Amino acid sequence: MRCHVLTSACLALLGLSAEASVVRVAEERPLAVGQALHLRVEAGSLEVRPGEAGKVGLDATLAPGQRVVWRESVDRRVLIVDDPERLSPRRSELRVAVPAGAPLVIHLGAASLDLQGAEAPRLVVRGGSGARIAGTFDAADVRVDGALDLQLEGPTGDVRAEGREVEVVSRGAIGSVAVDALGGPSTLALDSPRRVRATSVSGPITLRLGSASGADVVLESLSGDLRVDLVGAWPRAIVPQLATGDLSLPVVETPRVAAGAAVGEGGRLVLRSFSGDARVEGVAPPAGEPAPVPGRN
């Protein structure tokens, strides 16, 4: 009986200690139309969700001694998690609600990012152990240290995506897309891009194109394989630049193969790998969508 009482008392103390070891903060701050929101979190996790117009909502779990610092200027409001007691920042957990239409600039340090449902004219992300992003952006520039999953849910301008491994999905027309995978594969599924540049140090690159009309594409991997899935035929020239690998094409694409020197800018599909293979495949359109008319895709 005495042992049971002592055990219960120890568990209760541990519970109190765990509660006392965190600080919870809930705040709201105004965000004027045209002001950008800057977020800086050095360690832990950051979750961003849609919020109410005209204000930023914050729900944070901090370590004792950490604090939330707000700064403001005419064109921006800045939220910083400060940890003045430590040389190496401790973990914190933040959930931030952001109004639609506010530009977002996020510095992650070693933190992870989960951003879902945002609508912003501009998204900039730097650093971080990994990022899952889904939203509507006029332009996006995302460069993380870990894996990156970027889902673009509407028409988008220029996009830059960099990470250890990268996945980009675009469900609308998109302008220039630049993807760099530093240690793993790149996977792209793009409805209607204007320009695509994808590079990988050693991983494979897979690109699915909903419409290739007017697109200019260059895929380059040092040692990875290259694969392109096309709905319909490629409308212009295919330029293989393979050092040792093999090229596989549907029969209908064979007449389009050209030497790089013979092809000008625009409308090219360049497949460049030092030791990997390259493959182009024709695929069926998604269910419910008509197949492209030959010569008009």
- pLDDT given for residue 2 in this prediction: 46
Band of pLDDT at residue 5, cut at 50, 70 and 90: very low
- pLDDT given for residue 290 in this prediction: 52
Distance separating alpha carbons of residues 234 and 230, to the nearest angstrom: 7
- pLDDT given for residue 7 in this prediction: 43
Q: Quick one: average pLDDT of 90-107?
A: 97
Band of pLDDT at residue 289, cut at 50, 70 and 90: low
Number of Cβ atoms within 10 Å of the Cβ of 258: 14
Band of pLDDT at residue 10, cut at 50, 70 and 90: very low
Share of the chain above pLDDT 90, in %: 70
- pLDDT given for residue 213 in this prediction: 78
pTM for the complete prediction? 0.86
3 state DSSP class of 11: helix
Distance separating alpha carbons of residues 218 and 199, to the nearest angstrom: 8
Distance separating alpha carbons of residues 234 and 148, to the nearest angstrom: 28
User: Are the C-beta atoms of residues 198 and 205 closer than 8 Å to each other?
Assistant: yes
Distance of CA 66 to the CA centre of its chain: 29
Q: Which two tokens stand for residue 279?
A: 């493959």
> What confidence tens digit (pLDDT) does each residue in 161-217 have?
999 999 999 988 999 999 999 989 999 999 989 999 999 988 999 999 988 877 899
Q: Quick one: average pLDDT of 65-83?
A: 96
